[in-house]
């Protein structure tokens, strides 16, 4: 087969093959479960769920012992129904998890975790400024999210979703992000 490829008319084919091989070669080392062939949104959805386990909400965050933990999505829902699926039968500290969708910031009721689905940092900055709701973990995949006051941001490195965390922002909201989570995140204060 290699011999075939040396034939002149197949030079173009050879180029394609080389590119494909290169792409595969680049893609192969990723033995990570989460991220080979898994859509980004799914990963983020799982991460969101996981955040709930690595965050401590203070006293008074819940009405009572049975009150559910609310995850709010502000803006477009990038997860489709995947987030609902993920959290369906799960419990966090014995609480159910409820997903709420908000179209605008006014709709944002008290939720425990707010996913801001907006890419524009200026807009996100506005949103954060307008939120003023304590005990709410803010998450976004907007660029420099944590630098502009967000608590946990998704970033992409080497084709993998990594985390950025701003524990100070979280603390000022009364939240405690587990050091385990912080350890696997890039800290920006």
Q: Which two tokens mark 13?
A: 């084919």
Interaction between residue 178 and another protein (CB under 8 A): yes
Interaction between residue 15 and another protein (CB under 8 A): no
Smallest separation (angstroms) from another protein to the CB of 150: 16
User: Cα 108 to chain center, whole Å?
Assistant: 19
**Which residues in 52-75 are b (16+ Cβ under 10 Å) and which e?**
bebbebeeebbeeeeebbbbbbbb
Interaction between residue 185 and another protein (CB under 8 A): yes
CA distances from 28 to 18, 23, 46 (A): 15, 9, 23
62 and 46 Cβ atoms separated by less than 8 Å:
no
Q: Which of 103, 109, 123, 162 binds another protein (CB under 8 A)?
A: 162
Of the pair 89, 189, the CB lying nearest another protein is at: 89
* Cβ-based burial of 174 (10 A; exposed 0-12, middle 13-18, buried ≥19): middle
Binders in 125-154 for another protein, by CB under 8 A = none
Binders in 50-89 for another protein, by CB under 8 A = 50, 53-54
Total chain residues near another protein (CB under 8 A): 25
Interaction between residue 91 and another protein (CB under 8 A): yes
Residues that bind another protein (CB under 8 A): 31-35, 43, 46-47, 50, 53-54, 90-93, 160-163, 178, 180-181, 183-185
């Amino acid at each position: 087969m290699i011999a075939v490829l040396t034939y002149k008319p197949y030079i173009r084919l050879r180029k394609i093959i080389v590119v494909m091989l290169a792409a595969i070669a680049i893609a192969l080392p990723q033995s990570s479960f989460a991220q080979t062939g898994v859509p980004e949104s799914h990963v983020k959805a799982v991460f969101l769920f996981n955040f709930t386990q690595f965050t401590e909400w203070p006293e008074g965050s819940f009405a009572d012992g049975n009150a559910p933990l609310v995850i709010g999505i502000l803006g477009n829902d990038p997860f489709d129904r995947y987030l609902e699926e993920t959290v369906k039968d799960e419990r966090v500290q014995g609480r159910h998890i409820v997903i709420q969708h908000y179209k605008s910031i006014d709709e944002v009721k008290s939720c425990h975790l707010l996913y801001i689905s907006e890419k524009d940092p200026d807009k996100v900055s506005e949103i954060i400024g307008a939120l003023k709701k304590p005990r709410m973990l803010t998450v976004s995949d907007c660029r420099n999210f944590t630098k502009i006051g967000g608590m946990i941001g998704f970033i992409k490195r080497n084709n993998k979703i990594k985390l950025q965390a701003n524990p100070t922002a979280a603390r000022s909201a009364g939240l405690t992000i587990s050091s385990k989570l912080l350890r696997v995140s890039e800290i920006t204060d």
